[in-house]
Structure 1
Amino acid sequence: MADLNTRTAQLAARWLFTTLLIGLVVWSVDGSALWHELGRISPIILVPAFALTVFQVALSAWRWRYTVGRLGLSLPLSVAIREYYLATFLNQVLPGGVLGDVNRAWRHGREAGERLSAVHGVAIERLSGQLVLALAVLGSVIWLFQTGQFAPWPIGNGLWLVSGILCLVFAFWLALRSGFLERLSERLAGYLRHLRRDLFRSLLRWPVLPVQVGSSLLVLASYLGVFLCLAWGAGYLNSLEAAAVIVALGSILLLSMVVPLTVAGWGIREGAAAVLWPMVGLPAEQGVALSVGYGALVLASSLPGMVFVFAGKLRLA
C-alpha cells in the first residue's frame, strides 16, 4: 500500500510539473500573440498531417516487427500496428513517455513466451530511432550555425524562461532522486548486461543496420512532415529556406521530448520552442504555437489506441 501511494504521488508530481512548465512558457510569451498564431493554423492541413501519423505508426510497427524478428520472435504486422497504437496512446497520457513501450514489450513477451527478448526488441527499436534523431539534430545545429540562422542569444524573457525551466528540472530531479531514480538505475544496470548480446543481431550487423537506419529516417521524416504541415497551414513556409529552418528546429524539439520528466514532452517542448525561435529571428509565439499544435495533433492521432484499451476491458468483463 505504501509503495502504491508513493507511485501515485510520483505520477501526480509529474502532472503538476508538466502544468508548471506550461504555465511558465505561457507567462514568458505574449498570450494574445500566441492565440493569434494558433488561430492561423488552417484545419484543412490536419488531413495530410493525420495521414502522416498513420504512415508513421505503420512504419514504426514494421520496424518493431523487423527488430524482434532478428531476435527470433514472431509478430504479425496487424498485431504490431495495434500494439503500437496502444503504446502511443499510453505514452501520450501517462507521465514519462515510455510506459506505453513497457506495456507493449510486456504484452508481446507474454504472448511469445520470451519476455527478455521482447523487452530487447522494443528497446533496440526505440534506440534505432533515437540514434537517427541525434544525428539529425547534430546536422541541424551545424547547418543553423554555418548558414548564420542562429541570431545572438536573446536576452529577456528567453533568459528567464531557460533559468526557470532549469530550476524546475533540477528541483524535480532532486525530489525523485531519493526513490524512483535509484530503483530505476539498479534495474537498468542489470538490464543493459542482457541487452548487449542482442544489439549486434538486431541493430549492428549487416544488412540489419542499413534497414534500421533507413526505416528510422522515414519515421523521422514523418514526424518532421507533421511540423511542416502545421507550418504550411499557418502560412510560415514562404521559401525553401523557411522550410529548412522549421525542419531543423523541429528536430531539436523532438529531441527535447526525450527528457522523461513530463507528460508526452509537454512543457519542455514548448519551452524549447520559446527559446529556439527567437534565436533564428522568429517570434517565440510562432514556435510555441507549432509545438502546441504538434502535441495536440499527436495526441488526437493516438486515440485509436484508446479503443484497444476499452476493447481489452470489455474482453476482461
Structure 2
Amino acid sequence: MKGKGHRVRRPLLKWVVALCLLAAVLVSVDRQTLWQELSQMPIDLLLPALAITVLQVLLSSGRWWYTARRLGVSLTYRVALREYYIASFLNQVLPGGVLGDVNRAWRHGRASGQPLYAMHGVAIERLSGQLVLGLAVLISVSWLAQVGVVPPESPWWMWGLVGLVVVVFLLGRYLIRSSRGARHYLRGLWRDIVRTLVAWPAFPIQMGSSVLVLASYLAVFLILAYGAGHLTSWNAMILTAALCCLLLLSMVLPVTVSGWGVREGAAAVLWPMAGLPPEQGVALSVGYGALVFLSTLPGLVFLTVRLKQAGSGARDPVRKNQDQRAYHCPD
C-alpha cells in the first residue's frame, strides 16, 4: 500500500509544482498587461500555427519510422503516426512529459516482438531531436552573449556543461567495466546508436528531420509573436527565436506537466534580460502551450478508439497492422 501511495503522490506532486510555478509567475507580472498580450494574438493565425503542428507530428513520426527500420524492427508509417499522436497527447496530460513515449515504446515492443530494439528506437529518435536542440541552444546563447542579452561568460558555462556530460559518460563507462551484463548492453546500445544515428545515410536524414522539427517549433512561436505585433524587424525575429530555443530547453526538465510553469517562469526571467516586458514572454509561452495541447487532441481520439476496442475484445490495431517479420536495412 505504501508503494502504491508513493506512485500516486509523485504525479500529483508534479501537478502541484506546475500550479505553484504558474501562480508565482502570475504574482510577479502585471496581470492586466499579460491579458492584453494574450488578447493581441489573433484567432485567424491559429489555423496556420496548427497546420505547422501537424507537420511536426508527420516529421517526428517519420523519424521514428526510419529509426525503427534501421534497427530492423517492423513498423508501418500509418501505425507510427497514430502511436505518435497518442504519445504526444499522453505527454501533455501526464507528469514528466515522457510517459507517452514509454507507452509508445512498450506497445511497439509488444507488437514487434522485439522490446529491446523498440525501446532503443524510441530513445534514439528522441535523442536525435535533443542533440539538435542542444546545438541550437549553444548557438542561441553565444549570439545572446554577443548582443549583451546574457552575460558574456554564459557560453562558456554551456560548453562547461557539455564537458561535464562527457566526464560523467567516461566515469560511467569506467565504473561498469566490472559488470559483464552492463558492458554487453552498452555495446549493443552503442551499435544501435551508430546504425541509426551516425552511419551513412542515417546521420543527414536524422539531423535534417530534427532540424525541420525544431524549425516547426520555433515557427509556432514566431507566428504567435507576429500576431501580437512583436516582430517589427529581422533582429526582433532572431532575438525571439533565440529566446524561444531556451524556452524549449526549459521544457526538457521533467519536474512539471508538459513544461507548464517552468516554461512560463523561464520566459518571465529571459524577456527582461533582453529589455522586453516579461508579460510578452509569458503570454507567448502560454499561447504556445495551449496551441500544442490543442494539436495533440487527435491523440485523444485515437486513444479513445483503442480503449473501446480493448473493452470490446477486438484485436489490438497495432498488432493487426504490424508485419511480424522483422527485416534489417543495410547500414
TM > 0.5 fold call: yes
1:150-191 deviation digits (Å, cap 9, x = unpaired): 489xxxxxxxxxxxxxxxxxxxxxxxxxxxxxxxxxxx9997
* CA gap 1:104/1:190 in 2 versus in 1, 3 angstroms: farther
8 Å CA contact retained: 1:106, 1:119: yes
Aligned residue number for residue 290 of structure 1? 284
8 Å CA contact retained: 1:30, 1:285: yes
TM-score (norm 1): 0.86
Secondary structure of residue in 2 paired with 1:281: coil
Q: 1:2 Cα deviation (Å)?
A: 3.0
Aligned residue number for residue 155 of structure 2? none
- Give the distance between the partners of 1:150 and 1:280, measured in 2 at CA: 8
Q: 1:5 Cα deviation (Å)?
A: 1.7
Aligned residue number for residue 241 of structure 2? 247
2:299 equivalent to 1:305: yes
Alignment of 1:171-182 (within 5 A): none
Secondary structure of residue in 2 paired with 1:261: coil
Residues 215-224 or 23-32, more deviating: 23-32
Secondary structure of residue in 2 paired with 1:263: coil
- Give the distance between the partners of 2:143 and 2:184, measured in 1 at CA: 39
- Give the distance between the partners of 2:224 and 2:208, measured in 1 at CA: 25
- Give the distance between the partners of 2:99 and 2:285, measured in 1 at CA: 22
TM-score (norm 2): 0.82
Alignment of 1:84-95 (within 5 A): 84-95=84-95
- Give the distance between the partners of 1:82 and 1:192, measured in 2 at CA: 30
* CA gap 1:38/1:190 in 2 versus in 1, 3 angstroms: farther
Aligned residue number for residue 41 of structure 1? 41
Aligned residue number for residue 177 of structure 1? none
- The structure with the largest alpha-carbon Rg is 2
Match of 1:280 among 270, 274, 281: 274
Alignment of 1:51-200 (within 5 A): 51-150=51-150, 194-200=188-194
Alignment of 1:229-268 (within 5 A): 229-268=223-262
Q: 1:4 Cα deviation (Å)?
A: 2.0
| Counterpart AA for 2:34 | L
Q: How many residues are paired up?
A: 282
2:206 equivalent to 1:208: no
- Give the distance between the partners of 1:242 and 1:306, measured in 2 at CA: 36
Aligned residue number for residue 159 of structure 1? none
Q: 1:308 Cα deviation (Å)?
A: 1.3
Match of 1:219 among 210, 213, 221: 213
- Give the distance between the partners of 2:190 and 2:5, measured in 1 at CA: 35
1:82-121 deviation digits (Å, cap 9, x = unpaired): 0000000000000000000000001111111000000000
| Counterpart AA for 1:261 | V
Calculate the aligned-residue CA RMSD, in Å.
1.7
Q: 1:74 Cα deviation (Å)?
A: 1.8
Gaps of 5+ in 1: 153-187
| Counterpart AA for 1:300 | L
| Counterpart AA for 1:230 | L
| Counterpart AA for 2:68 | V
- Give the distance between the partners of 1:242 and 1:74, measured in 2 at CA: 45
* CA gap 1:65/1:143 in 2 versus in 1, 3 angstroms: same
1:239-262 deviation digits (Å, cap 9, x = unpaired): 111111111011110011000110
Gaps of 5+ in 2: 153-181, 312-331
| Counterpart AA for 2:207 | V
- Give the distance between the partners of 1:80 and 1:221, measured in 2 at CA: 21
- Give the distance between the partners of 1:190 and 1:204, measured in 2 at CA: 20
